[in-house]
Chain A
Amino acid sequence: MISAHPGALPGHGVQRNLEVCKLVDTTTCIGCKACEVACVEWNDMPFSPTTFDNTYQTMPETRWNFWNLIKFNEHQKEDGTIQWLMRKDQCMHCADPGCLAACPADGAIVKYSNGIVDFNQENCIGCEFCVSGCPFNIPRFNPETKRVYKCTLCSDRVGEGLEPACIKACPTGCLKFGTKDDMKFIAEERAKQLRENFGMEKAGVYDPQSVGGTHVIYVLHDATDPERYGGLPKNPEIPWSYTVWKWLFKPVLGTFALFGLLGVCLHYVTAGPRRTQPEPPRKGERHG
């Protein structure tokens, strides 16, 4: 804030909390995998062996030490021609993260105010419930450290005002990084361009509202069928049992079980124990 007033101003320190977003334009990805290398480099990951399965894909799916993978898919169009789909697969940084809903360990999964969902491994107990909570199949368990890992959206870089490593490495500009509002605007404009100028009537933006929107969004040639892009779920869902159980039944029923302890204590001081018969005569009681 700039003012001629010398002291602290009303509203001093107020700032906008911007939500960050990664935009992946699948229509301009050339599958160069520079983002994969940049991710491994920046996060100081060890060498990860690749798997050749007759495609250009580096490995079948992401690993605990390989968070960013370009998925290659051949799609046969209605006219018989082949379309080559490349999608950058990584954590989607959901606004309502399923991993967080499932996680029992406080502080192991954190959602920052800028929208980044991060794993704090020092609090992770390795129960792998987040794996079942995630609709995008992202968290990966490392059996050696017994903890779970995934893309951090380069939270360490973003906190310093830098773009994520993958964005910096992208040579085609298919990856963009900025505020959620800006990226959503650019994505929608790009999808409109594809529909109007490139004959892709079904082009659209992937920002699934069933998880409250994501902080990684895609521009797709055909937004009506995201599944063909290496299993991007059309309607990602979080099992409701996690939400209900964790926030309602878990504390309530846990307390209930403790009532068992309270119950037997109260029984002892009120009803009292049952003794083997015959008991000795009670005080003041006469026998025979």
Chain B
Amino acid sequence: MASAVERFDDKARETFESVGQTTVYQGELLRHPVYTRVLHWMVALFFFLALFTGFGIYLPWLFRWFTPIFGGGQLLRAMHPWFGLGFVVFFALQTLNWLKPMAWTPADTNWMRHMKEMVSSQAKMEPPDTPFFNAGQKIQFWEIVGGSIAYLITGIIMWAGARTFGRIPVAISYVIHDISALIMLGGIFIHIYESTFGQPGTFQAMTRGAVSEAWAWTFHPAWYKDITGRDPVQACEAARRKMTAGNKS
């Protein structure tokens, strides 16, 4: 099973790499290959389509100005399940793609202990054992996996309706679906913030696919060590000395 998934992912990465490309300049590292990036933006597209159409169903009075973009409330409602399905399908592929780097490790438990310092921006660098994804990213990822399963089950129940599944399952699904959506809505603010303003230099990982080495040793030191074989702290100090020397001259 696991090997079948790996073969599928390898084949997909290979195929996408032959279509698109990732330019890695000197002083940079490959962060996300083309396949991962395409999946990410497909997930993002369907997420926002489903989110905005969902708003129109959640609070029709508040989003009445906005529903005409989707052809009116009825069409918006009719399209919402399809957008949701697109989100689930592409995120399922991303889940397979990321099964390995998203697995929880002792390093993540260690990261959680230092979360406060990182949230308050006091910690300059992440703990040295922070791998390709840190614990915060993994929590958000697995929340979306769980949330997507909840979306799918409750969504299908509401899609087929009370006349297929009965009144009570629909009434319960409605609440679970909304709670899942609100958790993800709160999460998307954090996700966008951390990948743009919160940690400058991150956004290009999902656009061009490459990040600077400095970004790598700062936020994912263990990954930096794996890829380059150099020690992240020493590399950072070397860069600091160079920078200071440059300032003096």
Identify the A interface with B (CB < 8 A): 102, 104-108, 123-129, 131-135, 137, 141, 145-147, 239, 241-242, 245, 249-250, 253-254, 256-257, 259-261, 263-264, 267-268, 271-281, 287-288
Contact = CB atoms under 8 A, between A and B. Distances in A.
B171 interface: yes
B248 interface: yes
A276 B193 contact: no
A137 B166 CA distance: 10
B193 A254 contact: no
A280 B186 CA distance: 33
A249 to B, nearest CB: 8
Given A124-B74, A239-B171, A254-B182, A276 B190 contact: no
Considering the complex of A and B, which 7 residue pairs feature the smallest CB-CB distances, nearest first? Answer: A125-B73, A239-B171, A132-B162, A146-B74, A260-B186, A132-B170, A278-B240
Contacts of A259: 186
B171 A241 contact: yes
A277 B218 contact: yes
Contact of B56 (A125, A256, A261): A125
B236 interface: yes
A271 B57 CA distance: 36
Nearest to B248: A288
Given A260-B185, A260-B187, A280-B243, A268 B174 contact: no
B161 A128 contact: yes
Contacts of A280: 243, 247
A133 B172 CA distance: 11
A268 B193 contact: yes
Given A132-B168, A137-B163, A267-B193, 5 more contacts: A126-B74, A245-B178, A254-B58, A260-B188, A272-B121
A268 B198 CA distance: 7
Nearest to B72: A125
24 contacts: A102-B171, A102-B174, A105-B73, A124-B73, A125-B57, A128-B162, A129-B174, A132-B174, A135-B167, A137-B163, A145-B74, A146-B74, A241-B172, A250-B178, A253-B178, A260-B190, A261-B189, A263-B190, A267-B119, A268-B197, A271-B119, A274-B199, A276-B214, A277-B125
Nearest to A244: B175
Nearest to A264: B193
Contacts of B171: 102, 132-133, 239, 241-242
B190 to A, nearest CB: 6
B218 A276 contact: yes
Interface of B: 56-61, 67, 73-78, 118-121, 123-125, 158, 161-163, 167-168, 170-172, 174-175, 178-179, 182-183, 185-190, 192-193, 197-201, 212, 214-215, 217-219, 236-237, 239-241, 243-245, 247-248
Contacts of A260: 185-190
A271 B115 CA distance: 14
Nearest to B192: A264
A272 B123 CA distance: 12
A276 B201 contact: yes
Contacts of A135: 167
A151 B218 CA distance: 66
Given A146-B75, A281-B247, A104 B197 contact: no
A125 B162 contact: no
Contacts of B197: 264, 268, 273
Nearest to B122: A271
B169 to A, nearest CB: 8
Contact of B161 (A104, A132, A147, A239): A132
A79 B10 CA distance: 75
Contact of A264 (B120, B190, B247): B190
B189 A264 contact: yes
B105 to A, nearest CB: 22
Contact of B244 (A257, A277, A287): A287
Contacts of A268: 193, 197-198
Nearest to B168: A239
A241 B175 contact: yes
Contacts of B241: 288
